[in-house]
Structure 1
Amino acid sequence: MPGTPFDESERRIWAGSAAAYEAGFGRLCAHPVPRLLDAAGVAAGIRVLDVGTGMGSAAAAACARGARVVAVDAEPDMVRRAARAVPGACVHIAALPQLPYIKGQFDAVVGNFVLNHVGRPRAALDALRRVTRPGGRIALTLWAAPAAPGQALLGRAVQAAGVSRPSFLPALAPEDDFPRTEEGVVGLLRDAGLTETVCRPVSWDHHTTPEEWWSGPAAGVATIGRVVRSQGAVVAERIRQHFVVLAAEFTDGDGRLVLPHRALLASGRVAGAGRTGA
């Protein structure tokens, strides 16, 4: 299945970004990992696939539980770093919905914030269901909409500077999109044929510094980074100045940022009876 314009844009956005991602956004995205693994039933001996592994935080946590872990990411730079960070996992390059695994190969599949980055979410879920054994569980996190105040900070700075989303950054096609709500995600999982579907919000405060939080966009990480970097030095500095002003409302007495974030944690079971152990 050929990639969509959204998929192609995502490949360009994340190319070579692992180091900058790890320094900022990577730590943020690691927060829900324990609950993600719980939702997938990850335990000792379980065969686990971690899709969109990034820096390998979910893969490392699954290995620590004694699971047998395979991890994939579409970005080679991420794969190299995850392979070094998680020597107990088999780490490969693969992009949804193309997964090079046989039907029912895994007891559980997890995807930590990967569904936000695929052009065909329904096809991605079909691929995850295919490689999960009957009775196995799939668990996913994704960002909720509307965004929590801390998550919206960088976007507010861009808007305050009068910058709009560039045309070279395509949005998800309307026919592929879905509501980033508990009901919308449950509907997506049910449409994919999963049973026992559930979706709950996960909220936390991310503690960082203004310098660390700005470093990601300044380095071009994620969509927000591509927006910032595409504007040139003068406009990027204007965005940064608005960021500094807006960040004051999240700054504690020690000068650190306390940024409220909210995600959705969804899970479901692949229909059919199957074994429960390794």
Structure 2
Amino acid sequence: MKDSDKKFIIDYETETWSRCADSYLDTFSMLTGQMLPRVIEAANVTSGSRVLDVGCGPGNSTRALADAGAIATGLDFSESMVAAAKAANPGLSFKLADGEKIPEDDDSFDAVIANYVVHHLPEPAKVFAEAARVLKPGGRFVFAVWGPNPEQSSIGCFVRAVSAHHDPQALPHGPLFGVTDKETFLPLMESAGLTGFELTNHKTEWKCDTLDPVIDGLWTWANVKDFPQEKQDKIMAGMKENCSKFAVEGGYVFPHTAILGHATKP
């Protein structure tokens, strides 16, 4: 990847998730947090396990690890996310750092997790290698990411509404965005020296009483507030219309899927 392309992705991802820091716990974490029990189980977390949470965001994943008995450290590249994590989780350890240069010693963690993170990375091979470096022999690297794009119903409602009035391809992403096949991830694991890679599919749901968390999260993520007001109004109308098919008594239920990957350091 060219340095200019990498910088473009890093700048975009940092700006985006820094913007989402204050709202993430009340929006996207309602969905992405559903994979945390599976991630923790796959990581073989037990009382006293040392676990590194790469891309910890506002710290809900690090808190889940600590609640499971782990000695957890959260790591994120967004200063705003780290600040939000520290404010919401006093007593837990959080560090501002890039996953390509993890500020930890070799062979120092029993597990490394990345919950809905690796598809944001411009050079995932470097992060996978760093995860392997800091793992103890026998330790596991575990990640969760979105399943196939057509199976992400709430995001699909939003993208279809945006596409009618704006170019969604204008938003850059890392090279693993939308990737769900084992054949792509396996070489990354193997090049990092990790073995026994497995990839499994899982169903999740975004349940909410109103559309507010879904709209607020996606609005902030795409920075729709900076669009002309007329365009915002049209996107909002389209979003609500698209979401209507997922209405149930007392709110909304949006079906989603995720994939879970894990491998072990020999």
TM-score by length of 2: 0.90
Letter in 2 for 1:269: T
Task: Output the CA distance in 2 between the equivalents of 1:264 and 1:65.
Answer: 22
After superposition, where does 1:48-197 map in structure 2 within 5 Å?
Answer: 48-150=51-153, 151-159=155-163, 161-165=164-168, 167=170, 169-172=171-174, 179-197=179-197
Give unpaired runs (5+ residues) of structure 1: 272-278
Residue equivalent to 2:216: 215
Give distance in 2, aligned partners of 1:187 and 1:152.
30
Q: Name the aligned partner's letter for residue 263 of structure 2.
A: G
Matched residues in 2 for 1:178 and 1:15: separation? Answer: 22
Q: Does 1:32 align with 2:28?
A: no
Secondary structure class of the residue paired with 1:15: helix
For 1:136 and 1:38, locate their aligned partners in 2 and report how far apart those are by CA, in whole Å: 13
Q: Distance in 2 between matches of 1:171 and 1:217?
A: 15
Displacement after TM superposition at 1:261 (Å): 0.8
Measured in 1, the distance between the counterparts of 2:28 and 2:89 equals 19
Distance 1:172 1:16, change over 3 A: closer
Q: State whether residues 182 and 200 of structure 1, in contact with CA within 8 Å, keep that contact through their aligned partners in structure 2.
A: no
Using the aligned pairs only, state the percent identity: 27
Q: Pick from 226, 241, 246 the counterpart of residue 242 of structure 2.
A: 246
- Contact 1:43–1:62 (CA under 8 A) maintained in structure 2: no
Corresponding residue number in structure 1 for 2:50? 47
* Structure 2 match to 1:265: 260
**Separation in 1 of the partners of 2:248 and 2:178?**
36
Q: Aligned partners of 1:66, 1:149: CA distance in 2, in Å? A: 32
**How many aligned positions are there?**
261
Amino acid aligned to 1:213: V
Pairwise CA RMSD: 2.1
Aligned residue type for 1:154: F
Structure 2 residue 231 is matched with structure 1 residue 235: yes
Whichever residue aligns with residue 268 of structure 1, its letter is A
Measure, in 2, the Cα distance between the counterparts of 1:263 and 1:88: 30
Using the alignment, how far apart are the partners of 2:96 and 2:242 within structure 1? 38
Q: TM-score when scaled to structure 1?
A: 0.86
Give the secondary-structure state (helix, strand or coil) at the position aligned to 1:28: helix
Q: Is residue 199–residue 267 contact of structure 1 (8 Å, CA) maintained in 2?
A: yes
Amino acid aligned to 1:14: W
